[in-house]
């Protein structure tokens, strides 16, 4: 799967990039994003942490409940590469349908939502022999 490019401008208070994802149930999900500054140079995530969750897009009452938590890693912190992944066990536990997600990154007391969007979870129709 190719990397997707998103922009993070912390001087403007950050903003969220809309990126839609597709997850197949029972499969490993792994997506890397290239995060750049407005001048197109790699954003340096050295010393930063990240978190991301997926929730059903239809909430119960006014609250959304996390259906899964992505593993968030910086495959090259200095190179602006952030990775979201779910194990096959976690994707197997997701029900087919539409979800939403967001990704937060933090450094010290500053937290930015760098991306969010819809997730289409689809189940397979074939099985391995």
HEC sequence for 94-128: CCCEEEEEEEEEEECCEEEEEEEEEEEEECCCCCC
Residue 33 lies in a domain: yes
Alpha helices in the chain (DSSP H): 88-92
- Confidence band, pLDDT 50/70/90 cuts, at residue 11: confident
Confidence of residue 85 (pLDDT cuts 50, 70, 90): very high
Q: How far is the C-alpha of 98 from the C-alpha of 121, rounded, in Å?
A: 6
Number of domains in the chain: 1
pLDDT-derived band at 61 (thresholds 50, 70, 90) equals: low
Residue 128 maps to a domain: no
Q: What percent of the chain has pLDDT over 90?
A: 75
Q: Residue 16: inside a domain, yes or no?
A: yes
Average pLDDT in the chain: 89
Q: What is the mean pLDDT of residues 16-36?
A: 93
CA–CA separation, 71 and 120 (whole Å): 18
User: Looking at the domain assignment, is residue 127 inside a domain?
Assistant: no
15 vs 6 pLDDT, higher one = 6
The answer to whether 9 touches 41, Cβ cutoff 8 Å, is: no
Mean pLDDT, residues 77-81:
96
DSSP at 89: H
């Amino acid at each position: 799967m190719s990397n997707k490019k998103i922009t993070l401008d912390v001087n403007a208070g950050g903003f969220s990039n809309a990126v839609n994802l597709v997850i197949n149930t029972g499969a490993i999900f792994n997506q890397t994003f290239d995060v750049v500054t407005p001048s197109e140079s790699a954003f340096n995530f050295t010393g930063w942490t990240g978190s991301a969750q997926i929730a059903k897009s239809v909430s119960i009452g006014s609250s959304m409940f996390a259906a899964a938590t992505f593993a968030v890693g910086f495959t090259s912190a200095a190179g602006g590469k952030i990775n979201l992944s779910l194990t096959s066990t976690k994707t197997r536990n997701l029900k087919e349908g539409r979800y939403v997600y967001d990704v937060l990154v933090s450094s010290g007391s500053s937290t930015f939502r760098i991306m969010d969007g819809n997730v289409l979870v689809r189940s397979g129709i074939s099985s391995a022999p």
